[in-house]
Amino acid sequence: MSVPLLLTILAGAATFIGAFLGVTGQKPSNRMLAFALGFAAGIMLLISLMEMLPAALGTPGMTPLSGYGMFLLGLLGYFALDRLLPHQHPQDLMVANQQPRSLRRTAILLTLGISLHNFPEGIATFVTASSDLELGLGIALAVAIHNIPEGLAVAGPMYAATGSKAHALFWAGISGMAEIFGGVLAFWLLGPALSPVLIAVIMAAVAGIMVALSVDELMPLARDIDPHSNPSYGVLCGMTVMGFSLTLLQTSGIG
């Protein structure tokens, strides 16, 4: 049990590598920040629509109705959360003294989205490694690779909003710790409580949250921060990085 748990911890800790890259050097420019937000959106969209949702729908015991129903519940849950949090309209972002606050809010929402994604991912990594260590090693490696840009995507906006490297590393660390917590929870509850159907339900709902966050928050904010750049470039780059990590997953014989 200790080796699968160690693999999960190492995969989650890779988030700090990206976070460190996000806070070193000078404070990110608006163009770099817009690119990072688009990059994060690309990561979330590809993971959600090409990995998490298909995996949930393909789980034995999951029906299309329950899978898509949980996906829609995740979408609605995001918009409910968005209503509860203080909201600024895109045109308000052009006011200089409000931009850092908006970036901080976006970074917190981004941390929430990635953390909710990392939690079941940590469970899945631990459970797979417990049943097949070689298979779990391949999953942990792929997870660690795509956790690096996730850490960068969280730390960059938070550092730009607060100017504090400690705050940026803290919030990025939360997203990584969520994955580790998922592995620890699986360590203690491994058994009937962690059925494949339950994991599939969680993954489908989180996929909906991440899609809503990408389309409603990250991409519009990227456009408003730097109107002269195209956030689609960041989105495409984020998808490309995730595509390579998923390819690694497939060539490892896991997919």
Token digits of residue 66: 């329950």
Determine the pLDDT at residue 1.
56
The Cα–Cα gap between 153 and 204 comes to: 22
pLDDT under 70 in the chain at which residues? 1, 25-28, 85-102, 117, 128, 131-132, 134-136, 138-139, 142, 146, 190-194, 246, 249-250, 252-255
Token digits of residue 181: 């917590």
Determine the pLDDT at residue 194.
62
Percent of the chain with pLDDT over 70: 80
Task: Indicate the pTM of the whole model.
Answer: 0.63
Handedness of CA 85, 91, 92, 94 (dihedral sign): positive
Q: What is the pLDDT of residues 187-198, one digit of tens each?
A: 787 655 667 787
Determine the pLDDT at residue 94.
35
The Cα–Cα gap between 39 and 218 comes to: 9
The Cα–Cα gap between 131 and 110 comes to: 32
Determine the pLDDT at residue 67.
92
φ, ψ for residue 228, nearest 5 deg: -90, -5
Q: Please enumerate in sequence order all residues whose Cβ is within 8 A of that of 143, keeping only pairs 6 or more positions apart, or say none.
A: 11, 14, 121, 125, 179
Q: What is the pLDDT of residues 36-46, one digit of tens each?
A: 778 878 887 88
Tracing tokens 């260590």 back to the chain, one arrives at 133
